[in-house]
Amino acid sequence: MAASILCGAAAFGMYYPMGYLFLIAFYLIYALILFFAKDGVRDWITKYSTPSITESMQAKKPYIEKTREFFGLLIISAALALNYFVSGGI
């Protein structure tokens, strides 16, 4: 929810660089946890040989939900990083 609020605020010209950095760090740490978790992204790559995670919207296999969540966290981190750089936060 916080990421969507900050992205919405950026659309109206209100930038919060420290908020972007905090959320990026939080999301990337959580993404790392999901990467190394049991039946996480690493297992999807090594143990399951990267089958499609877009077959259906139902997560019938144990690795699907964690892998989708991982990529979602990367996407929102990239959006927040873009907002950070546009705001002149460097």
Q: What DSSP assignment string belongs to 6-33?
A: HHHHHHTT---HHHHHHHHHHHHHHHHH
Q: What is the pTM of this model?
A: 0.88
50, 29 in Cβ contact below 8 A?
Answer: no
**Residue 69 scores a pLDDT above 70:** yes
Q: Which domain holds residue 19?
A: 2-86
How many domains are there within the chain?
Answer: 1
Q: Give the range among 29-33, 58-62, 69-73 with minimum mean pLDDT.
A: 58-62
Dihedral of the alpha carbons of 61, 26, 72, 86, in degrees to the nearest 10:
-170
